[in-house]
Structure 1
Amino acid sequence: MEILQYEFMQRALLAGILVGLICPAVGLFIALRRMSMISDALSHVCLSGVAAGMTLGIHPVLSAALFAAGGGLLLERLRKVYRGYSEISIAILLSAGVAIGAIILDLGKGYSANFMSYLFGSIVAISANDLKIISLLGITILLLINMLKKELFAISFDEEHARVSGIPVDSISICFTIMTAVTIALSIRVVGILLVSSLMVLPVATAMRLANSFRGAMMLSILFGETAILIGILASFYLNLAPGGAIVMTSVILLVGTLTYQQLSRKLAIHKGVVSQ
């Protein structure tokens, strides 16, 4: 293909494929734990991390990962303080992330143009160092998910039963929150800070309408995630669109198409039943 002649597109596609694997894989457990808004809160903490990295001369993806991991630990602490009201802890973290990011950006003037590529993603701006960081940390997250999938599955469906069964719920929850934070930080180069949470939720939402098992939901989530990534990156290249917007809109179209297909199939089945009677 013509686009593969460009090195920046090769990097964008490789980074996108990795992001399309880890986001739905982590997102499925987030959805099962009914904590979909956690990705929004941590993505806004990444905003502060990117701003700090640009101001201090640190690689923005690494600084975003560190800020997000710290935000994840703080979130776990706030969830215990506001036990039973987890949405309050998420709102606190989200507000703090935006406020700190705005202050740091104002102090480090001159970074506004480059910062835009982190808000909505950029296929041109993905460097060789970005790809190395995404690959190293992304593969690590996939290995951890594979190692902890049984424990995460048990905690997602019944946390108290998992605790009684001897599973170290608190430790694994902290580990998973940090994995979520790092996943978001790795994905902002491709999807953007403002849209990364959508890539963790929408493919999972589509898969859960079709799958009959956890394994099926995981496979379909990754399939829908990769489809959205590839179509979005191609649309970004050929139509000169922001990759984050193109990727998320593809995910929305897949979800709406699935819901429409199911509704039409249900109406057709009812119609056939009435006719046969």
Structure 2
Amino acid sequence: MELLQYTFMQRAFLSGILLAVITPFIGITIVLKRMSMIGDALSHASLAGVAAGLILGINPVAGAGVVCVFAALGIEKIRKKLPRYSEMAIAIIMSAGIGLAGVLSGYVKSSANFNSFLFGSIVSVSREELLLICLISVIVFLVLARFYREFLYIAFDENAARISGVPVQKLNFMFTLLTALTVSVASRTVGTLIISSMLVVPIACGMQLGRSYFHTLIWAIVIAVITTVTGLTLSFYVGVKPGGAIVLLEVICFLFSVLYRSIRK
């Protein structure tokens, strides 16, 4: 393919496919735990980290990662304090992230650098950022594959899992860190306004097509990879923003999956 002759497109495809594989692993647990908006909360918090990184002259992705980790831990802490109203934790952290990002963005000298994180810039991923994505992808895959059954149990019934002896607190802490790291690296590639959709929409498609937890996950990964490759191809030949194209394609896949399921019934 002509587009693969370019190094920047090779990096874009590799980073995009890696994210398309690991985001459903994170997303399926988020959806089943009724925390679909956590991606929005962390992505808005990561914007504050990006702004802080640009102001301090450090790598914005590193700044996003640090703030994302603290935001994710904050959500988990508030959920424990208010177990009956755990969804409030997401709203509180999201509000704090939006407010902090809004204040700090006023001190960023180059608004173009800051704005590039809103919708991502996957075609300008550097070699160092690609290595970071590879590292985090491997960590996420190995951890979630190792504790596959435990995370499955926690996703469906956290209290029953705790009674059965599953270390729920430790696994939730681990999952929170993995989610924060995934969102922080994805903010650079697909954008902070889009990563939440990539965590949820493929899972919604998988739920329409799969008959089990495992089949739902596989369908979600397949759809995420196909839409990512198609979106990047369209961005090269047509000139559309890759992040926006990927999410729109995922939404189209969801609509077709709903139609397919209704026809089957």
Q: TM-score surpassing 0.5?
A: yes
Residue 2 (str. 1) matches residue 2 (str. 2) = yes
The one-letter code of the counterpart of 2:212 is S
Aligned-partner Cα distance in 1 for 2:60–2:237: 27
Correspondence list, 1:167-182, <5 A: 167-182=166-181
Residue 202 (str. 1) matches residue 201 (str. 2) = yes
Residue 259 (str. 1) matches residue 258 (str. 2) = yes
Alignment partner, residue 106 of structure 1: 106
The one-letter code of the counterpart of 2:45 is V
For structure 2, the residue ranges without an aligned partner over 5 or more in a row are none
Correspondence list, 1:212-231, <5 A: 212-231=211-230
Task: Answer yes or no: is the 8 Å Cα contact 2:24–2:202 preserved in 1.
Answer: yes
Aligned-partner Cα distance in 2 for 1:75–1:189: 22
Alignment partner, residue 155 of structure 2: 156
Aligned-partner Cα distance in 1 for 2:72–2:128: 25
Aligned-partner Cα distance in 2 for 1:38–1:263: 29
Structure 1 runs (4+) greater than 3 angstroms displaced: none
Task: Answer yes or no: is the 8 Å Cα contact 2:122–2:190 preserved in 1.
Answer: no
Aligned-partner Cα distance in 1 for 2:251–2:189: 17
Q: Tell me the secondary structure at the aligned position of residue 189 of structure 1.
A: helix
The one-letter code of the counterpart of 2:233 is L
Aligned-partner Cα distance in 2 for 1:2–1:150: 42
Q: Tell me the secondary structure at the aligned position of residue 84 of structure 1.
A: helix
Task: Answer yes or no: is the 8 Å Cα contact 2:12–2:122 preserved in 1.
Answer: yes
Q: Which has the larger radius of gyration?
A: 1
Using structure 1 for the length normalisation, give the TM-score: 0.93
The one-letter code of the counterpart of 1:6 is Y
The superposition leaves residues 87-143 of structure 1 with CA deviations (integer Å, 9 ceiling, x where unpaired) of 2111110010011111111122x2211122211011332111110111111111111
Correspondence list, 1:49-68, <5 A: 49-68=49-68
Task: Answer yes or no: is the 8 Å Cα contact 2:16–2:122 preserved in 1.
Answer: no
Cα 1:155–1:123 change in 2 (3 A) is closer
Paired residue total: 265
Residue 123 (str. 1) matches residue 122 (str. 2) = yes
Per-residue deviation at 1:218?
1.2
The one-letter code of the counterpart of 2:92 is I
Aligned-partner Cα distance in 1 for 2:238–2:121: 13
The superposition leaves residues 205-238 of structure 1 with CA deviations (integer Å, 9 ceiling, x where unpaired) of 0001111111111111110111111111111111
| Farther off after superposition, 233-242 or 89-98 | 233-242
Aligned-partner Cα distance in 2 for 1:178–1:253: 31
RMSD (Å) for aligned C-alpha atoms: 1.1
Alignment partner, residue 273 of structure 1: none
The one-letter code of the counterpart of 2:251 is V
Per-residue deviation at 1:45?
0.7
How many percent of aligned residue pairs carry the same amino acid? 42
Task: Answer yes or no: is the 8 Å Cα contact 1:105–1:111 preserved in 2.
Answer: no
Residue 47 (str. 1) matches residue 58 (str. 2) = no
